[in-house]
Amino acid sequence: MNEDEVIRAKQAARAKVLALILGAFVVLMFAITIAKMSINQ
């Protein structure tokens, strides 16, 4: 693997981690919203 490929692989790994974190954040915000609505009802 040359240097460019190593850098690309690292970037791809970071992008996947970031995507997972953002996905988890969206799920958490959705769950918080639903929980708050259920408390206020």
Partner 1 sequence: MLALTKPRVMSLVVFTGLCGLLAAPVPVHPVLGFAAVLCIALGAGAAGALNQWYEADLDAKMKRTAKRPLPAGRMDPQTALHFGVGLAVFSVVLMDLAANHLAAAILAVSILFYVLVYTVWLKRRTAQNIVIGGAAGAFPPLIGWVAATGDVSALPILLFAIIFLWTPPHFWALSLFVRSDYAAAGVPMLPVVAGVQATRRQIALYTLPMSAAAVAPWAMGLTGWVYGAIASTLSLLFIVLSLTVLANRATEPAGMAPEKRLFAYSILYLFALFGALVVDRWAL
Q: Read off the DSSP letter of residue 1.
A: -
Q: Among 2, 21, 24, which residue's Cα sits nearest to residue 32?
A: 24
Residue 19 makes contact with partner 1 by CB under 8 A:
no
Residue 12 in contact with partner 1, rule: CB under 8 A = no
Q: Does the footprint of partner 1 cover residue 21 (CB under 8 A)?
A: no
- Answer for which of 4, 39, 40, 41 binds partner 1 (CB under 8 A) is 39
Q: Quick check: 35 binds partner 1 (CB under 8 A)? A: yes
User: Would you mind telling me the total number of residues written for the chain in this entry?
Assistant: 41
- Which of 15, 35, 11 is CA-nearest to residue 23? 15
Which C-beta is closer to partner 1: that of 9 or that of 28? Answer: 28
